[in-house]
Amino acid sequence: MDSYRKTAIIVGALILIAYGVLASSITESKIIVMLFEVISGIAVILIAVLMFPLFKPYNEKASFWYIVFRSIEGGLMIIAGILFLPHNNLLLGIRDGIYVGHGYIFAVAALFFYYLLYQSKLIPRWLSVWGFIASILLILANLLEITGLIPGLMILYLPIISNEVVLAIWLILKGFNLPEEEK
């Protein structure tokens, strides 16, 4: 198995692991929630580290900012997970604030991610465009929610969630499109 194929499978699996934080919210166990959030944060950072060398030849500046935003996102998830463990209202309030900021960091990092996927042609372009549009919708949803114009409408989160699950499955089953020189 070539290194591109292994990387695609690992990145796909890490995307699914990173979404494990969503599933952790259904449990009352503080330890499970904390562990899932920390693991999700680590997964987000690892995705960026694995994708950086693939993206860098196509756009070095955008690749740099992608890894910066994903590292901040992952770091915030790790901190939020740790803040969830103690039963302290002040720390839980800080955690909630972190997740408000996290939503924007995630969306901006996703814009870079899907732009770089589009530019590199590592996946079908329709999948990159879907992710880019879904990222914009997520930013819009966050702005409308924070301004109080609409309550949190989970329906506006569905395009990015469904895109990332489809992307993860695509990467696991199909892998990346190989650059011309690698074929």
Lowest mean pLDDT among 8-17, 46-55, 72-81, 171-180: 171-180
Q: In this predicted structure, what is the pLDDT of residue 56?
A: 96
183 located within any domain: no
Mean pLDDT of the chain: 87
Chain segment 71-107, per-residue pLDDT in tens:
999 999 899 888 877 778 888 888 888 877 888 899 9
| Domain-embedded: residue 93 | yes
Number of structural domains the chain divides into: 1
Q: What is the pLDDT of residue 102?
A: 83
183 pLDDT more than 50: no
Total-model pTM: 0.89
- Asked if 43 and 49 touch (Cβ cutoff 8 Å), the reply is no
182: in domain = no
Range of the domain at 7: 3-177
- Residue recorded with tokens 């198995």: 1
Give the tokens for residue 169: 């499955």
Exposed/middle/buried for residue 10 (C-beta within 10 Å: 0-12, 13-18, 19+): middle
pLDDT in tens, 139-175: 888 887 777 766 666 677 889 999 999 999 999 999 9
- Residue 22 in domain: yes
Phi and psi at residue 20, to the nearest 5°: -60, -25
Q: Give the list of residues 6+ apart from residue 20 with CB closer than 8 angstroms, or none.
A: 36, 39, 40
